[in-house]
Amino acid sequence: MRLIILSLLYLSGVFPGVLSAPLPVPHLYYLIMTPMTWNSAQSYCRKNYEDLATITSDSDWTRLKKLGTNSKFFSTAWIGLYNDIDSWRWSYNSAPLKLKKWSGAEPNNLGGHESCGAMDMYGYWWDLNCELLKPFLCYDANSTKRFFSITVLKSWSDAQAYCREFHTDLATSYNESDNLILKNLVSGQWSAWFGLFRDPWKWSDQSNASSINWAVGSPDNSGGYENCGSVTYSIITDVPCSGFLPFFCHTVPPMTVQDVVKLKVISGLSADSGLESSILALIWEELKKHGMADNTTVTLRLQPDGNVFQKVEESVNSEDTAANKICKT
């Protein structure tokens, strides 16, 4: 029975199409005119609403702009965007830093785009733009040598992909001994990529911040401490978090989405409660595999006659029957 039912689900297009592209979460926005620092605004929103404003879709922007227009607010306000400058870790297993060998004032996020780490010829660490082309250092867990210097110039992400394909990962520097070995491998080059990296911009509620409507030239970290996002006329800029600004909070309204799926069960079994329970369990199992939320309710709908399933008598075309008889002889 399992094979028959699931085959019907796939043939009917229920899987994987229904849940393959989840709907964007709609946000309801609230404008708070009392100026606060970004951190204070975040605390206020989390206490009284849900969080500082997250904006992830065109419909979000429409609602935010409408609120500003209706409130006659055309100035600058905080939103939930921030630069996660303290998230430095290693590419290999996302291990935390046990050793820190930053050079001078590093990390400084110069220019606003430095979220990858390189080691210089003296063994000190620098944060740099991940798109720069550099030689790099790989780590190999299956080799007694452990660390390898690759002189081909690559971006940090391309270097990571290379190390993961041909070794284990970009090199890690867990202790002074490792750092000395890596320093000697860098010798003769100004610097080389290794496995140090951090997350760049995030939303306060940890939503994906891959698409941000930055102002021209932003983010630039021009003041050296511009790690929070503000919005003016739908344009986002990076500014120091210590400034006092009005701010937008958000809530997420509960969503009720109803999908009705018509199933056809081919089975010689009678449609009793046991069969219905089995079908419902299989549907639930498959929907969960394709991303259904835990708080979703799945039920079988009763027909007007009080039954879930209706028996359908399929007529057989006389010509098809004749053809079948001919084929069997």
> What is the three-state SS of 216-273?
CCCCCCCCCCCCEEEEECCEEEEECCCCCEEEEEEECCCCCCCCCCCCCCCCCCCCCH
Over range 185-195, report the average pLDDT: 95
- CATH classification code of 147-250: 3.10.100.10
Answer yes or no: are the C-beta atoms of 218 and 50 closer than 8 Å.
no
Task: Residue 167: name the closest of 189, 205, 140, 142 by CA.
Answer: 140
- CATH classification code of 28-140: 3.10.100.10
pLDDT digit string, tens, across residues 58-85:
999 999 999 999 999 999 999 999 999 9
pLDDT digit string, tens, across residues 106-143:
999 999 999 999 999 999 999 999 999 999 999 999 99
The answer to whether the 28-140 and 147-250 domains have the same CATH topology is: yes
Residue 311: the pLDDT is 66
Domain ranges for the chain: 28-140, 147-250
Q: Which residues contact 9 (CB under 8 A, 6 or more apart)?
A: 15, 263, 283, 286
Q: Above pLDDT 70, what percent of the chain?
A: 76
pTM (2 d.p.) = 0.71
Categorize the per-residue pLDDT at 285 as very low, low, confident or very high, splitting at 50, 70 and 90. Answer: confident
Say if residue 7's pLDDT is above 70: no
